[in-house]
Amino acid sequence: MCAHPDDESFGLGAALAALAGAGASVSVLSLTRGEASTLHADADLASVRRDELAAAGRALGASHVLLLDHPDGGLDGVPLSVLAADVLDAARAARPDLLVAFDAEGVTGHADHRRATAAAVASARLLRVPVLAWGVAAEVATRLNAELGTAFSGRPSRAYDLEVVVDRARQLDAIACHRSQSAGNTVLWRRLELQGDLEHFTWLA
């Protein structure tokens, strides 16, 4: 689960594609429509990003995609109990054995990412399922912040529970579906370059 359309591809894409490729039933939940993005802000982003998410879900092999309409950039203003209830509602249909989310600090510095993960952890306790959190190595975060002025955070590589070699082919297909947000996105492409074929995960619940 994630905060915005594209998070499932830009961040979680390699993991979700691997799970789907291994035969797991994958469902995607985005808490917002991503309407507050500054990229292509002249477009009807809520509609554009809805369609992009649907296409990306297919590229990743997801069996179901759910897009909610909480305010993009405003998840901190939504009670955590409300967000967790939305996750639980989605879980009644998906019956997950696992939730996949961003790491607790949000990875990119976006407050919405932290809030979405908090909702995942809160609902996972009630569902009694684990949360597998995606993150970037601190070494990658430091390079990105120095080169591009970003606010990434990450754990040292050795502090993650899992370091996984991934095939990014399906993830890249899904990223291409989010054309409004991926075209010319220097931060995204530099991050993927620095990560290479490695992804890092930790267990939050």
pTM for this prediction: 0.95
User: Considering the chain, what percentage of its residues have pLDDT values greater than 90?
Assistant: 93
Which pLDDT tens digit goes with each residue over 33-49? 999 887 776 678 999 99
pLDDT surpasses 70 at 111: yes
Q: How far, in Å, CA of 104 to CA of 118, rounded?
A: 7
Nearest to 184 by CA among 17, 39, 32, 77: 39
Determine the pLDDT at residue 205: 76
| Type of residue found at 120 | A
pLDDT score recorded for residue 92: 86
Phi, psi of 29 (to 5 degrees): -125, 125
Q: What are 12-31's pLDDT values in tens digits?
A: 999 999 999 999 999 999 99
Q: Tokens 């390079």 appear where?
A: 143
Q: Is the dihedral of CA 193, 55, 13, 168 positive or negative?
A: negative
For residue 71, what is the DSSP state? Answer: P
Cα-trace Rg, the chain: 15
Show the CA angle centred on residue 27, arms to residues 26 and 28, nearest 5°: 125
What whole-number distance in Å separates Cα of residue 125 and Cα of residue 105? 19
Could you tell me which of 74, 66, 49 has the C-alpha nearest to residue 181? Answer: 49
Q: Distances in Å between the alpha carbon of 95 and those of 34, 88, 90, 91, 133?
A: 26, 9, 8, 5, 19
* Tens of pLDDT, residues 163-177: 999 999 999 999 999
Domains of the chain, earliest start first: 7-203 (3.40.50.10320)
Q: Where are the beta strands (DSSP E) in the chain?
A: 27-32, 64-70, 99-102, 131-135, 162-165, 198-203
Give the C-alpha separation, 192 to 203, whole Å. 22
- Residues in the chain, overall count: 205
pLDDT at 60 over 80: yes
**β partners of residue 162:** 201
pLDDT of residue 113 exceeding 70, the answer is yes
Return the SS3 of 183.
coil
